[in-house]
Structures are given as structure tokens and as C-alpha cells.
């Protein structure tokens, strides 16, 4: 038996005919820099639309900046 509070209408998500949809990042929750032997790799924790904070994922900061520069305009990243 499912929990009716967890059911999300498909119209709100925008599911296509092939049952896929595009996830859109809405906020950056955290930032970290990992030090490797020869370089440093910056990562950001991204909160995606239609997901809970517990489901946020770590992504390469460089990739997110290229694809979604608006997330970095107002200094939303806190370290």
C-alpha cells in the first residue's frame, strides 16, 4: 500500500511520451574541494527539482557552472 503523500502528478513533472523527463537543478547546497596527487577537484552538492534534500547529488562544479551559471550568480554556494 502506497503513501498518497508521496504520489507526484505526472503533469507537474512533465513526463514525455517515452517516459523520460529532464531534471533541473534548483539550488546548490554545499561545496567541497578534493585534493588529488596532482590537482584539486571542486564539487558542489546539487538539489534537483522534484527531489528531496537527502537525494541531492555531488556534481563537478565546472560542469554545473557551464550548464547552469545562474546557480552561481548570487553566491548561493556556502562552504
**Single pTM value for the model:** 0.66
- The DSSP line for 25-74 is EEEEEEEEEEE-SS-EEEEEEEEETTS-GGG-EEEEHHHHHHH-GGGGTT
Q: What is the pLDDT of residues 54-68, one digit of tens each?
A: 999 999 999 999 999
Greater pLDDT, 13 or 78: 13
Calculate the average pLDDT of the chain.
84
Q: All 3 cell numbers of residue 69? A: 551559471
Task: State yes or no: pLDDT of 78 exceeds 60.
Answer: no
Domains of the chain: 24-79 (2.40.50.40)
Reply yes or no on whether the pLDDT at 23 is more than 70.
Answer: yes
Amino acid at each position: 500500500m502506497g503513501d498518497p503523500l508521496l504520489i507526484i502528478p505526472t503533469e507537474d513533472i512533465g513526463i514525455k511520451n517515452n517516459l523520460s523527463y529532464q531534471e533541473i537543478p534548483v539550488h546548490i547546497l554545499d561545496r567541497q574541494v578534493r585534493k588529488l596527487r596532482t590537482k584539486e577537484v571542486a564539487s558542489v552538492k546539487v538539489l534537483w527539482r522534484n527531489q528531496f534534500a537527502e537525494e541531492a547529488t555531488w556534481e563537478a562544479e565546472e560542469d554545473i557552472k557551464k550548464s547552469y551559471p545562474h546557480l552561481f550568480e548570487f553566491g548561493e554556494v556556502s562552504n
